[in-house]
Structure 1
Amino acid sequence: MNRFLLVPFYEHPADRPEAWSALVEAAPSLYGVVVNPASGAGEAPDPAFAAVAGRLRAAGVPLLGYADTAYGRRPHAEVVTDLLRHRDWYGTDGAFLDQVATAPAALAHYRRIAVAARAAGAGTLVLNHGAHPDPGYEEFADLLVTFEGPWDTYRTLDLPVAAHYCHLVYAAPPGVRPVTPVHCAVPGTGAHPWGTLPHLLEPAR
């Protein structure tokens, strides 16, 4: 089974039910889907997200709870609270930490978060640096997002490639496939590019 797509899809299931159904149907190709109801878990469970999370789990899709870390500025307890809520409300079995620092000075902070995430049941831990980080982060994460940005930038770069690196590319034309084994390329642009699915998963309209 080739699970090559890590999909951050930040749309409400009530607004885009057909797109969430397309994710369920694509289950065998999904490395994971990032669950992000409210730039995190929010303050209370969202029934629509809980329902679609149940469908994805039943299809065998790994679910990664989203938590913003503000490049190390967000307190440890707030990040862990987000991850625990994702687990308890949506049944996530992994974590997607966003806006992760790249410098070695923040390693201890993120190592502590990683320990807490594993203790909370995160079988898969993804760190979204958006750029190439210090190699110390490889010690405690399963996947490092070492590029996040538009296709016009991505196509000009010669980035390192490894099995545990992931590239997230937006404003991508049809047929584009990033070079890392796990990746995602979507057509979305502007301030909210992750409100679109990869071209090959977009349901017919």
Structure 2
Amino acid sequence: MKLLVPLYVHPGVDPAAWEALAAAAPRLHGVVLNAADGPGPRPDPAFTAAAERLRGAGVTLFGYVDTGYGRRPPRAVAADVRRHRRWYGVDGVFYDQAAAHPALLPRYRRLLIVARALGARTAVLNPGTHPDPGYAELADLLVTFEGSWESYTHVTVPPWTRAHPPERFCHLVHGVPPEHARAVARTAGGRGAGVHCAVPGRGANPWRHVPWTLREAS
């Protein structure tokens, strides 16, 4: 099992969290870089330094881009991808708030074509739920769950996921009690997801913490 870590905390606020990610490089599928709900209006030197440290450790970086469930203008989405690539040298893109409805498949196909044309080698789509099966054909990694531990215990997995290898799916779980941290990895694997993240955080930004398994190792 690999970890995809969306660490949404400034390196100046919690430098130890970023150090923990660099130290855990072999265990990571990648890290989502999110300076200000995207790349922000200008380069942030602290994020530039953190990105350089992670790249030097061999970590794949994904630039966070909000797609507004398909409502955000494609030009604005492309501009964020371009800034992430230019300012932070990210390897790929993390398209958050992705749509799940089949009617928007052509729009997301175009967004991914543009991202790859701008140099993003890998792409993650995050609808946070199981979308129409067509989305699994577009992304390198599909986040089919994002939510609380309480919700995660009741998730059902549609049969179509079995047609794809586990490394194509990711589960992001927050509000995880320490005694259940390792259960997330086992549960994700049992549900056909080879990538996951389990954090203790709750509230508006639960992703300001490193995963439980990295906290235990530190």
Same fold (TM over 0.5): yes
Matched to 2:55, the amino acid is: R
Root mean square deviation, CA, Å? 1.5
- Structure 1's consecutive aligned runs of 4 or more residues displaced over 4 angstroms after TM superposition are none
Matched to 1:191, the amino acid is: A
Structure 1 residues 30-109: aligned runs within 5 Å? 30-109=28-107
Matched, 1:168 2:172: yes
Superposed displacement of residue 108, structure 1: 0.9
Question: Which structure's residues are more often helix, by fraction?
Answer: 2
Q: Secondary structure at the match of 1:31?
A: strand
Matched, 1:201 2:208: no
Q: CA–CA distance in 2 between the matches of 1:204 and 1:112? A: 41
Structure 1 residues 142-153: aligned runs within 5 Å? 142-153=140-151
Superposed displacement of residue 135, structure 1: 1.1
Superposed displacement of residue 204, structure 1: 8.0
TM-score under structure 2 length normalisation: 0.89
Compared with structure 1, are the counterparts of its residues 204 and 142 closer, same or farther at alpha carbon in structure 2 (3 Å cutoff)? closer
Q: CA–CA distance in 1 between the matches of 2:29 and 2:217? A: 23
Compared with structure 1, are the counterparts of its residues 185 and 204 closer, same or farther at alpha carbon in structure 2 (3 Å cutoff)? closer
Superposed displacement of residue 111, structure 1: 0.6
Q: Conserved in 2, the CA contact under 8 Å of 1:176 and 1:185?
A: no
Matched, 1:185 2:185: no
- CA deviations on 1:167-202 (whole Å, 9 max, x unpaired) are 100001223324121010101011110011111112
TM-score under structure 1 length normalisation: 0.95
Q: CA–CA distance in 1 between the matches of 2:176 and 2:157? A: 17
Matched to 1:100, the amino acid is: A
Matched to 1:8, the amino acid is: P
Q: Conserved in 2, the CA contact under 8 Å of 1:131 and 1:148?
A: yes
Superposed displacement of residue 136, structure 1: 1.1
Q: Secondary structure at the match of 1:201?
A: helix
Superposed displacement of residue 140, structure 1: 1.8
Superposed displacement of residue 203, structure 1: 7.2
Compared with structure 1, are the counterparts of its residues 203 and 44 closer, same or farther at alpha carbon in structure 2 (3 Å cutoff)? farther
Q: Conserved in 2, the CA contact under 8 Å of 1:22 and 1:203?
A: no
Q: CA–CA distance in 2 between the matches of 1:200 and 1:94? A: 24
Matched to 1:70, the amino acid is: G
Aligned twin of 2:119:
121
Q: CA–CA distance in 2 between the matches of 1:19 and 1:55? A: 13
Structure 1 residues 126-141: aligned runs within 5 Å? 126-141=124-139
Q: CA–CA distance in 2 between the matches of 1:176 and 1:22? A: 21
Matched to 1:202, the amino acid is: R
- CA deviations on 1:11-42 (whole Å, 9 max, x unpaired) are 00000001100000000011010000000001
**What fraction of aligned residue pairs are identical, expressed as a percent?**
57
